[in-house]
Structure 1
Amino acid sequence: MVGMTIQLQRATAAELRDVTREYGGKHARVRALDGVSVAFPRGSWTAVMGPSGSGKSTLLQCAAGLEQVSGGQVLLGGRDITNAADRELTALRREQVGFVFQSFNLIGSLTAEQNVALPLKLAGRRVSTRDVRAVLGSVGLADRLRHRPRELSGGQQQRVAIARAMVTRPEVLFADEPTGALDSKSARTVLDLLRRLVDAAGQTIVMVTHDPAAAARADAVVFLSDGRVVDRAVSPSAREVADRLAALES
């Protein structure tokens, strides 16, 4: 269903309006997103799912201002960023957007505390040791401040990455397969943390995942196929998510 709009209650933290994203030259164009309209409510957690090549990561990157759209409109915090200049987008990403990826992307030579403080330094903001340590404490790593990535487990590294993303108090936390490289126990710990961020801190999270169990922890799931929004589910079970995903892949 092209242009299907997903609107939940509450004001939106990020929104795509009839967005298309094309790649390639004039004679070999690929349309990764095809008329996508989707709104992500403030203080909610939305999972994005779909078969391989359905446009999940492209949607995330366009919503976060990492990629320029070919058509349509992108809003972040109510602000139209569709045609924003590169300098404006860079500042916006540093101040209003947090990123968590499957690969933790920590700097190996820095301690957990230094990794978390890095976004503040890059944005030219004052680094408060108290704030950095508080956010590490909020992810259960108050006793790992001076540990370097190699001294931490995969789950602990991902929690450092989440703390780094949260230290700027972003409008939206975008997560691309945040549990994809973790064992099941570490994955549950990270998902529990994301759930607390939404429920206790009112954080908005948009997460791409292939895991029905991870998607079921979200408030809503958006399903993509061939670059289009084709389905949605509110507070689904893991089985329901798996069944809908299987239907798309069949």
Structure 2
Amino acid sequence: MDMLQTQADTAVELRDVVREYGSGQARVRALDGVGIGFARGTWTAVMGPSGSGKSTLLHCAAGLERPTSGQVLLGDRDLAAASERDLTELRRKDIGFVFQSFNLVSSLTAEQNVALPLRLAGSKVSMTDVRAILTTVGLGDRLGHRPRELSGGQQQRVAIARAMITRPAVLFADEPTGALDSGAARTVLGLLRSMVDDAQQTIVMVTHDPAAAARADSVVFLRDGRIVDRLVRPSVREVADRLAALEA
């Protein structure tokens, strides 16, 4: 982590994180002593060849997986040492998720899907807030539509609104544009960009797409479970060239 970046400026930090799968000769080290801090109000893209550890990094940072060793700090809380109950609470209130597959409930309307995290957390549901956030993502006229009545891009915007309704400290996105056509992808990336610039949201995004990565503030590259490079405000060409070099 940048020495000038204090812990108060950091939304989530990994300290010497190791993640291993299997045992004995079949043991695989997916993350090999990763240390990185993600500053508040910034958007970081995570890239690397297949098997580099980028999805494992995202899952450990978001508390979906426990590291084999090391710390994952969300503010002053260590997710690696938290109980399952505490992790569930954190995931409901302080961490937002957006996935490639949208993960919407097919029987619920757009506004019901967005309200779902609040209901699961036992929080008071303000339908005014739900409708306001759907309007923010450009779906104020689709409140009563179910997922099958929405395009892929619209479904992903519902998923983003659902992730944001609890005002999470960090939004984690796993290939959020992977299932979208180019036009819908640009709309979703523009929405993420505005969340960082206008609402100071912190976003950590795994992607394989250089065009998506270039919309972020910085791009972190992994290979063999280790961070090997970082680019700040790169062009699409710079991202593509660096990724190609890692995959060679």
Question: TM-score with structure 1 length normalisation?
Answer: 0.96
Q: 2:24 aligns to what SS in structure 1?
A: coil
| Structure 2 unmatched runs, 5+ | none
CA distance in 2: counterparts of 1:102 and 1:6, whole angstroms: 31
Q: Specify the code of the residue in structure 2 equivalent to 1:132.
A: V
Q: Say yes or no: does 1:73 pair with 2:81.
A: no
CA deviation digits over 1:22-46, x for unaligned, max 9?
Answer: 0002331000000100110000000
Structure 1 CA distance for aligned equivalents of residues 66 and 25 of structure 2: 20
Q: What does residue range 27-42 of structure 1 map to in structure 2 within 5 Å?
A: 27-42=25-40
State how far apart, in whole Å, the 1-side matches of 2:78 and 2:120 are: 24
Give the C-alpha shift of residue 79 in structure 1. Answer: 1.9
Partner of 2:49: 51
Given that 1:177 and 1:207 are in contact with CA atoms closer than 8 Å, whether structure 2 keeps it comes out as yes
Of 100, 124, 127, the match for 2:125: 127
Whole-Å separation in 2 of the counterparts to 1:78 and 1:63: 14
* Residue 192 (str. 1) matches residue 190 (str. 2): yes
- What letter is aligned with 1:63? A
Distance in 1 separating the partners of 2:43 and 2:95? 15
Local SS of the residue matching 1:142: coil
Secondary structure of residue in 1 paired with 2:93: helix
Aligned identity (percent) is: 76
Cα separation, 2, equivalents of 1:109 and 1:182: 22
Q: C-alpha deviations, 1:40-98, integer Å up to 9, x for none?
A: 00000000000000001000000001101001111012322221110110001001000
The residue number in structure 2 matching 1:239 is: 237
Dislocated runs of 4+, deviation >6 Å: none
Distance in 2 between residues matched to 1:158 and 1:8, nearest whole Å: 36
Q: Which residue of 2 aligns with 1:228?
A: 226
1:7 offset after TM fit, Å?
Answer: 6.2
Is the 8 Å Cα contact of residues 8 and 41 (structure 1) preserved in structure 2? no
Deviation per CA, 1:124-151: give whole Å up to 9, x if none. 0000010101110110000000000000
Amino acid across the alignment from 1:31: R
Tell me what 2:160 maps to: 162
What is the RMSD computed on CA atoms of the aligned residues? Answer: 1.1
C-alpha separation in 2, matches of 1:73 and 1:108: 37
Change (3 A) 1:246 1:134: same
Number of residue pairs the alignment of both structures matches: 246
Output the amino acid matched with 1:44: T
8 Å Cα contact 1:14-1:78 kept in structure 2? no
Could you list the runs of 5+ residues in structure 1 that have no partner in the other structure? none
User: In the alignment, which of 60, 63, 83 is matched to residue 85 of structure 1?
Assistant: 83
- CA displacement, residues 85-123 of structure 1 (integer Å, 9 cap, x when unaligned): 101100010010000000010011100000000000000
Structure 2: distance between partners of 1:231 and 1:69: 22
Distance 1:74 1:22 in 2: 15
Question: Do the aligned partners of 1:36 and 1:228 also contact (CA within 8 Å) in 2?
Answer: yes
Asked if the contact 1:12–1:78 (Cα under 8 Å) also holds between the matched residues in 2, the reply is no
Label 1:6 to 1:54 Cα distance change in 2 as closer, same or farther (>3 A): farther
Check conservation: 1:33, 1:59, Cα contact below 8 A: yes
Q: Structure 1 residue 179: deviation in Å? A: 0.1
Checking the alignment, whether the CA contact within 8 Å between 1:97 and 1:171 is kept in structure 2 is yes
TM-score (norm 2): 0.97
